[in-house]
Chains A and B, each alone.
Chain A
Amino acid sequence: MARIGVFVCHCGENISATVDCHKVAETVGKLKHVAFSTDYKYMCSDPGQTLIKEAIKEHNLTGIVVSACSPRMHEPTFRKAAAEAGLNPFLCEMANLREHCSWVHEKNDMTTDKAIDLVRTLVEKVKINSALQPIKVPVTKTALVIGGGIAGIQSALDIANTGHKVILVERSPSIGGHMSQLSETFPTLDCSQCILTPRMVEVAQHPNITLYTYAEVEGLDGFIGNFTVKIRKKSKSLDEKICTGCGLCTTKCPQKKIPNEFEEGLGFRPAIYVPFPQAVPNKPVIDREHCTYYIKGKCKVCEVVCPTKAIRFDQPDEVIEVQIGAIVIATGFDIKRADFFPEYGFGKYKDVIDGLQFERLASASGPTSGAILRPSDGQVPKNIVFVACAGSRDPAKGIAYCSKICCMYTAKHAMLYKHKVHEGKASIFYMDIRSAGKNYEEFVRRAIEEDYVNYIRGRVSTIYERDGKLIVKGVDTLLGGQPVEIVADMVVLATAGVANHGAEELAQRLHVSYDSHKFFAEAHPKLKPVETNTAGIFLAGACQNPKDIPDSVSQASGAAVKVAALFSQNELTREPLVAFVNRTAPPLYSTCVGCFLCQSVCPYQAIEREDFKTRDGKIIKTVAKINEGLCQGCGTCVALCRSKSIDLHGYTNNQMYTEVMALLNEY
């Protein structure tokens, strides 16, 4: 026989100002099976919780309804209190009298009546609640980090340093990411390569880190603590164990005119190549798309010149499966290229370049060895224009967000230019200068005040070429909307940061949600910025939204801590609010008929097949079975199941039905 306790909270006056709490407690107290009912000023306070605990013990309660604020606020509090009093926490329900009643209605009888209805509904529900036990699953203490940019590197190192194994997967031939392309970094103007390279080397040498470059994640199965990941190691056409990295092949390769990705198309590379001199690993790969041998069937110059005979033209891709317990996604971002901008010539003008191209021009290791030269004719630009917010904050272009990093790097670009071309003139068209960050504003001021960068507040309407010059037409809004026309030698667009190519496919492969811009979605914008909605998968860096280096590194370390915390336990405890398929006595075994339509509605692949067999192994029946580790408890399968064979703990058919009945009928 159920013995239910009802605890009506006044929440100071938050509830009692509009709801007659005493009447609620009194009325509900008259319900069948309600053994105890009271109201109190603050149920969540220590005395309030003590009151509940003592009532549970004294009245031997089999379920309680705390009628207070939103369960999203205090359900854990009261469930914990119930557990402390020896009551299974899932026998505690909360009626939301504050957010859903007292705060939104006038003080009158109808409001109190509604409160009574809400409490009664939960009383009837809790009567049929089941005591649930937490689910425990083992943890595989190896992490997978996807993406070898600065965020991935940082995460991998941090996790590895806690003593756990890490697999780092990078799709290009070298780790380093966009940071390795940068010349100097704001706000200190220290050389990007100089601070990054040691970290790259550390990754390569760390005993806990296994590095797979030129590799991609193909598929993911399993759940937090127990993932199985499929990694495709693309063929490098090379035996890495034998290759010494001498680089002879790269110099002899006859195919030399392939646009260099690392140089953002401002230079060329051969078909067998190392992306950049400091690459890790520093061994070449053959780009099969451009290699003469793969295209025409003959050449093999590299094989001939290789002193160690390390070239393997017939080397296949290798797909490996690895057991891991957690994942950090650090796949980074990309930028819009100039061809995205019709008003700036659709990328037709060679001297309208994007920010990353400028980084390469300014980089000492870049195609011009650090000299700022026009791509069209190699001349030093005398007059350079930077356009901030190229694409960003422009809903008409489908990018309403601020790309965050452009204000700072544009200031940096202007400074770098001025430091190299002292007599040159640098102008920046900007919408607002967003320089929140340590030493950021000072940095921008320096650009303006010490390097005389001409900041023009306004947008650029069009850029066109005339007689080899670029005419930049814009507006100066600080001069009352005065049209401005600058005849420039070179224009740098601070193009919008966007999701990396392939992000959507990867998100789908990992079953992680992503936003409308294809950036990976965090579990909560404020309180869970590092987690995804899929337990055990975390985010680091610009794959979530454009970020600068310090932010990326911070988040990477944050993600690493999340992983380390997960790995600090041998077993995981999960809330048992998961689905289950009923089991009955043989010969039925379950009312499930095995149509498996539920499999296709499950977003988590949590529905498996279970065979019932005779002793000699003949299958009698195959029915659905829920993998409790994967199920997140959405219940979409429950509503689909025609024979009502699946149900959801905490929200069972019987409970939901009872709630509807209790809400609408007299008790």
Chain B
Amino acid sequence: MINLVSRADELLESKAVQVVIGYEAGSTGKARPAFITDPSKTGSLIFDDRCVQNLAVYLTKKEVRYFGKAAIVATLPIMRSIMMLISEQQVFAENIVVLGVSAEGKYIDIAGIEVMQQYIATCDLGNPAKDQETLAMLNKMSTQQKFDFWQKELSKCIKCYACRQACPMCYCTRCAVECNQPQWIPVQSNLHGNTDWHILRAMHLAGRCISCGECGRACPVNIPCHLLTMHMADQVHNYFNVYAGTTDKMSSVMSTFEPNDKESFIQ
């Protein structure tokens, strides 16, 4: 990752950015996010198979923003997250520098948003193959089987909201789940409250999920909640031929429509 390190070094040295968001070696053999502000410390940046977390979540974080302009190490899902954040006016393109990393782990020079957009356009934007397989398996189940599957999974939920906090698209300062007039979602982590929460989350990410799978990865009790949003991403593509995070223009699927949107269930 010589390129990544030298580029980070150069950006910090020239004061083009004030912080580089990347990965470093963590405890017990894990990789973890790193926030490097000192050019002499860029050597600790790494990129390998362990670096899977979606770093875009930090772009909207107050303490990280405080540094000023940020450079961010970005794989495809992170780039798509950045696109979404720009399109939803949470991040301004002029405040970030993208340090691209290809699927093979190679540094890619992303000179600007247009370049990133072009790069994204060349990539496969569907869900990861492994998850797509699971989705296909689930979709084959009967209604009752699906219900049972999800009830079993969701009963484990403890409402720690790691799924929400890990998601770059869940940047609201007050989540709907915290709205108490009315109390849309039961606060308790019982089956009902959990089910409502996960439906709400999936609906709010419809057309916005970029299939990074971070929510499922973050879950401390291993609920495959990323399948819910990935299913939505799949269906959004299916119905509206749109993948989220491919443009910096405001074009959310759920805030637009086509008069001839096809459906077969409305009488």
A residues with a Cβ closer than 8 A to B are 588, 591, 593-601, 622, 640, 642-645, 653-654, 657-658
* Residues of B contacting A658 in the complex (Cβ-Cβ under 8 angstroms): 182
What would be 28 A-B contacts, judged by CB atoms less than 8 Å apart? A588-B173, A591-B172, A591-B174, A593-B90, A593-B172, A594-B89, A594-B90, A595-B88, A595-B89, A595-B90, A596-B88, A596-B89, A597-B250, A597-B252, A597-B254, A598-B255, A600-B252, A600-B256, A601-B255, A622-B89, A640-B254, A640-B255, A642-B172, A642-B176, A643-B174, A643-B179, A654-B181, A654-B182
Residue in B90, B171, B174 whose Cβ sees the most chain A Cβ within 10 Å? B174
Q: What separation, in Å, do the CA atoms of A645 and B223 have in the docked complex? A: 29
* Residues of B contacting A657 in the complex (Cβ-Cβ under 8 angstroms): 182, 184
Q: What separation, in Å, do the CA atoms of A601 and B254 have in the docked complex? A: 9
* Residues of A contacting B184 in the complex (Cβ-Cβ under 8 angstroms): 644, 653, 657
Distance between B164 CB and nearest chain A CB, rounded to angstroms: 11
Distance between B77 CB and nearest chain A CB, rounded to angstroms: 20
In the complex formed, the residue of A with least CB distance to B204 is A642
In the complex formed, the residue of A with least CB distance to B181 is A654
In the complex formed, the residue of B with least CB distance to A656 is B182
Distance between A591 CB and nearest chain B CB, rounded to angstroms: 4
In the complex formed, the residue of B with least CB distance to A657 is B182
Q: What separation, in Å, do the CA atoms of A640 and B254 have in the docked complex? A: 8
Q: Mark B95-114, 1 if CB is under 8 A from A, else 0.
A: 00000000000000000000
Distance between A259 CB and nearest chain B CB, rounded to angstroms: 36
In the complex formed, the residue of B with least CB distance to A588 is B173
Known: A597-B255, A654-B181, A654-B182. A643 touches B173 (CB 8 A): yes
Residue in A597, A598, A653, A654 whose Cβ sees the most chain B Cβ within 10 Å? A597
B182 engages A653 (CB within 8 Å):
yes
In the complex formed, the residue of A with least CB distance to B257 is A601
Q: What separation, in Å, do the CA atoms of A74 and B88 have in the docked complex? A: 44
Sort A-B residue pairs by CB-CB distance and give the 5 closest, nearest first. A657-B182, A597-B255, A591-B174, A595-B88, A643-B172
* Residues of B contacting A591 in the complex (Cβ-Cβ under 8 angstroms): 172-174, 179
Q: How many residues of B contact A (CB 8 A)?
A: 19
In the complex formed, the residue of B with least CB distance to A658 is B182
B123 CB–A CB distance under 8 Å: no
Residue in A594, A640, A642, A657 whose Cβ sees the most chain B Cβ within 10 Å? A642
Q: What separation, in Å, do the CA atoms of A97 and B72 have in the docked complex? A: 62
B174 engages A597 (CB within 8 Å):
no
* Residues of A contacting B250 in the complex (Cβ-Cβ under 8 angstroms): 596-597, 599-600
B182 engages A597 (CB within 8 Å):
no
B129 CB–A CB distance under 8 Å: no
* Residues of A contacting B89 in the complex (Cβ-Cβ under 8 angstroms): 594-596, 622
* Residues of B contacting A642 in the complex (Cβ-Cβ under 8 angstroms): 172, 176, 204
Q: What separation, in Å, do the CA atoms of A224 and B88 have in the docked complex? A: 30
Q: What separation, in Å, do the CA atoms of A142 and B213 have in the docked complex? A: 57
In the complex formed, the residue of A with least CB distance to B254 is A640
Given A591-B174, A596-B250, A643-B174, 6 more A-B residue pairs with CB atoms under 8 Å apart are A593-B173, A595-B90, A640-B254, A642-B176, A645-B174, A653-B184
Q: What separation, in Å, do the CA atoms of A643 and B255 have in the docked complex? A: 15
B175 CB–A CB distance under 8 Å: yes
Q: What separation, in Å, do the CA atoms of A653 and B176 have in the docked complex? A: 12
For chain B, residues 146 to 183, give those with C-beta under 8 angstroms from any C-beta of chain A. Answer: 171-176, 179, 181-182
* Residues of A contacting B171 in the complex (Cβ-Cβ under 8 angstroms): 593
Q: What separation, in Å, do the CA atoms of A516 and B120 have in the docked complex? A: 39
Q: What separation, in Å, do the CA atoms of A300 and B195 have in the docked complex? A: 77
Distance between B210 CB and nearest chain A CB, rounded to angstroms: 15
For chain B, residues 212 to 232, give those with C-beta under 8 angstroms from any C-beta of chain A. Answer: none
Q: Mark B233-267, 1 if CB is under 8 A from A, else 0.
A: 00000000000000000101011100000000000
* Residues of A contacting B172 in the complex (Cβ-Cβ under 8 angstroms): 591, 593, 642-643
In the complex formed, the residue of A with least CB distance to B179 is A644
A643 engages B175 (CB within 8 Å):
yes
Q: What separation, in Å, do the CA atoms of A657 and B182 have in the docked complex? A: 7
Q: What separation, in Å, do the CA atoms of A643 and B177 have in the docked complex? A: 8
Distance between A419 CB and nearest chain B CB, rounded to angstroms: 50
Distance between B166 CB and nearest chain A CB, rounded to angstroms: 17
Distance between A310 CB and nearest chain B CB, rounded to angstroms: 46
In the complex formed, the residue of B with least CB distance to A599 is B250
Q: What separation, in Å, do the CA atoms of A599 and B175 have in the docked complex? A: 20
Q: What separation, in Å, do the CA atoms of A638 and B172 have in the docked complex? A: 16
Q: What separation, in Å, do the CA atoms of A654 and B88 have in the docked complex? A: 27
Q: What separation, in Å, do the CA atoms of A347 and B175 have in the docked complex? A: 64
* Residues of B contacting A588 in the complex (Cβ-Cβ under 8 angstroms): 173-174
A644 engages B88 (CB within 8 Å):
no
Distance between B93 CB and nearest chain A CB, rounded to angstroms: 16
* Residues of A contacting B179 in the complex (Cβ-Cβ under 8 angstroms): 591, 643-644, 653
Q: What separation, in Å, do the CA atoms of A518 and B86 have in the docked complex? A: 37
Distance between B176 CB and nearest chain A CB, rounded to angstroms: 5
Q: What separation, in Å, do the CA atoms of A600 and B90 have in the docked complex? A: 16
Q: What separation, in Å, do the CA atoms of A499 and B265 have in the docked complex? A: 33
* Residues of A contacting B175 in the complex (Cβ-Cβ under 8 angstroms): 643
Q: Mark B59-92, 1 if CB is under 8 A from A, else 0.
A: 0000000000000000000000000000011100
B176 engages A600 (CB within 8 Å):
no
Q: What separation, in Å, do the CA atoms of A640 and B256 have in the docked complex? A: 11
Q: What separation, in Å, do the CA atoms of A653 and B90 have in the docked complex? A: 26
B88 engages A597 (CB within 8 Å):
yes
Q: What separation, in Å, do the CA atoms of A657 and B184 have in the docked complex? A: 8
B255 engages A600 (CB within 8 Å):
yes
* Residues of A contacting B252 in the complex (Cβ-Cβ under 8 angstroms): 597, 600
Distance between A362 CB and nearest chain B CB, rounded to angstroms: 43
Q: What separation, in Å, do the CA atoms of A653 and B254 have in the docked complex? A: 19
Q: What separation, in Å, do the CA atoms of A285 and B165 have in the docked complex? A: 65
* Residues of B contacting A598 in the complex (Cβ-Cβ under 8 angstroms): 255
Q: What separation, in Å, do the CA atoms of A567 and B123 have in the docked complex? A: 59
Distance between A394 CB and nearest chain B CB, rounded to angstroms: 25
In the complex formed, the residue of B with least CB distance to A128 is B181
Distance between A598 CB and nearest chain B CB, rounded to angstroms: 7
Q: Mark B180-212, 1 if CB is under 8 A from A, else 0.
A: 011010000000000000000000100000000
A643 engages B90 (CB within 8 Å):
no
Q: What separation, in Å, do the CA atoms of A643 and B176 have in the docked complex? A: 5
In the complex formed, the residue of A with least CB distance to B200 is A642
Distance between B115 CB and nearest chain A CB, rounded to angstroms: 25
* Residues of A contacting B173 in the complex (Cβ-Cβ under 8 angstroms): 588, 591, 593, 643
Distance between B17 CB and nearest chain A CB, rounded to angstroms: 20
Q: What separation, in Å, do the CA atoms of A642 and B89 have in the docked complex? A: 15
* Residues of A contacting B256 in the complex (Cβ-Cβ under 8 angstroms): 600-601
Distance between A212 CB and nearest chain B CB, rounded to angstroms: 33
* Residues of B contacting A594 in the complex (Cβ-Cβ under 8 angstroms): 89-90
Q: What separation, in Å, do the CA atoms of A441 and B67 have in the docked complex? A: 84
